[in-house]
Structure 1
Amino acid sequence: MRRSPDAREAPYSYRSDPNVPPFPDDQPIIVFDGECKFCSGWVRFALRHDRSGRYRFLPAQSPLGAALYQHYGLDPTDYETNILIRDGRALFKAEGSLQMIAGLGFPWSLINLARVFPRPLLDRAYDLIASNRFRWFGRRESCFVPDAGVRARFLA
C-alpha cells in the first residue's frame, strides 16, 4: 500500500532500513528531481543563497534518492515531491519547501508568513506546480550536474 507523502515519518527510521544505504545526515538534505528544470533551478538558487552551506543535495534519480523515495512510500520514478530530511525526519510538499526556503535565513525566512494559509491549501498549490512543472519549465536531458565548486555538497 502506497503511503501519502503527507506522512511525517515512516514506520521506522531510514537509518534502520536495510534498503537505504548509510549516508551522512548531520546536515539538512534536499532530495530533488535532477531532471526537472524547475527543481534544478531551485537547487541553484539554494546554492547561491545558502551562505552558511547548511544544505546538502541529493538527486532523486540516484540509488540513495530512489531508496529514500521507496522508504517513504513514494514512487521512485515519479518525483511528485521534493524531500527535506532534517534531524532524521522527512518533510514533504509545501511544509518541506517552506522550511527549505526559511532555512536560507533572512530575507527568505519571511516565507514563514505563508503559514497563515491552511496547509491543505498550500499543498494543493504545491501539487499544481509539481504536476505542471515539466510543461511550464521543461525537462533536462540528463540529471543536474553540479560544478566542481559545490560538488562536495552533493551526496550523489
Structure 2
Amino acid sequence: MPNQIQQLIQEHNMILFDAQCVLCSAWADFMIKHDHQTQFKLVSVQSQLGQQILRKYQFPTDHFETMILLEKGQLYTESTAFLRIMQRLDFPYSSLKYGKLLPKKLRDFAYRRIALNRYRLFGKTEHCYVVGSDVESHFLLDEKLK
C-alpha cells in the first residue's frame, strides 16, 4: 500500500482537512463551489487515506492543527497552503496570492490563532463530512486504496 499512497500523492493535488470541524467542512464546501476545474482533491484526515498520508509526513494522527496541501508530492501547511490554493482559483480569490507579501511569521501566526481555536469559535460535529455522489469527484476516498 505505501506505493499506492505515493502514486496518489504524485498524481493529485490534495487538500487534507479535518472533516469534524465546522469551519473546515465549510472550507470543503467552498472548494467544491469554487474549484471549477477540480484542480484539488479533498481528503479527510479522519479517513484511512488521510491517516496514512499524515503518518507518511510524520504529522499527528489524533489531533489536527493545520490544513495540509500536497501539490504533486510537495508539502505545504498553514498560511502558505491556504495562499497557494487561493491563487489557483478564479478572481477574486486568486488576488489573495498577494498575501505572500506579508512576512510568513505574521501570516502563520494569524493562521494558527484561527486553527487552534476553530472548535471553540466555529464548533465541532460528531460526524465526519458526508460526501454525496454529486460532489464525489472533488474527493479522494478510501476506495482508491483498494
Under TM normalisation by the shorter chain, which class is it?
0.7 to 0.9
Q: Distance in 2 between matches of 1:104 and 1:77?
A: 30
TM-score, normalised with respect to structure 2 = 0.88
Q: In the alignment, what sits opposite 2:144?
A: none
Following superposition, the deviation at residue 85 of structure 1 comes to: 0.8
Q: In the alignment, what sits opposite 2:92?
A: 107
Tell me the amino acid that sits aligned with residue 104 of structure 2.
Answer: R
Runs of 4+, deviation exceeding 2 Å: 17-27
Q: Distance in 1 between matches of 2:105 and 2:80?
A: 10
Q: In the alignment, what sits opposite 2:138?
A: 153
TM-score, normalised with respect to structure 1 = 0.83
Aligned partner (choices 23, 42, 46) of residue 38 of structure 1: 23
Tell me the amino acid that sits aligned with residue 123 of structure 1.
Answer: D
1:60 aligned to 2:45?
yes
1:90 aligned to 2:75?
yes
Q: Distance in 2 between matches of 1:21 and 1:142?
A: 28
Q: In the alignment, what sits opposite 1:51?
A: 36
Q: Distance in 2 between matches of 1:116 and 1:24?
A: 29
Q: Distance in 2 between matches of 1:153 and 1:90?
A: 19
Structure with more helix by fraction: 2
Contact residue 38 and residue 137 of structure 2 kept, 8 A = no
Q: Distance in 1 between matches of 2:55 and 2:4?
A: 9
User: What is the total number of aligned residue pairs between the two structures?
Assistant: 141
Q: Distance in 2 between matches of 1:97 and 1:25?
A: 20
5+ residue gaps, structure 1: 1-14
Aligned partner (choices 47, 62, 76) of residue 77 of structure 1: 62
Q: Distance in 2 between matches of 1:72 and 1:120?
A: 22
1:131 aligned to 2:116?
yes
Contact residue 15 and residue 41 of structure 2 kept, 8 A = yes
**Alpha-carbon distance change, 121 to 154 in structure 1, aligned in 2, over 3 angstroms:** same
Greater CA deviation, 110-119 or 129-138? 110-119
Once superposed, what is the RMSD of the aligned Cα atoms?
A: 2.0
Contact residue 21 and residue 64 of structure 1 kept, 8 A = no
Q: Deviations over 1:72-116 (max 9, x none)?
A: 221111111111111211111110011112221221110011112
Determine what percentage of the aligned residue pairs are the same residue. Answer: 30
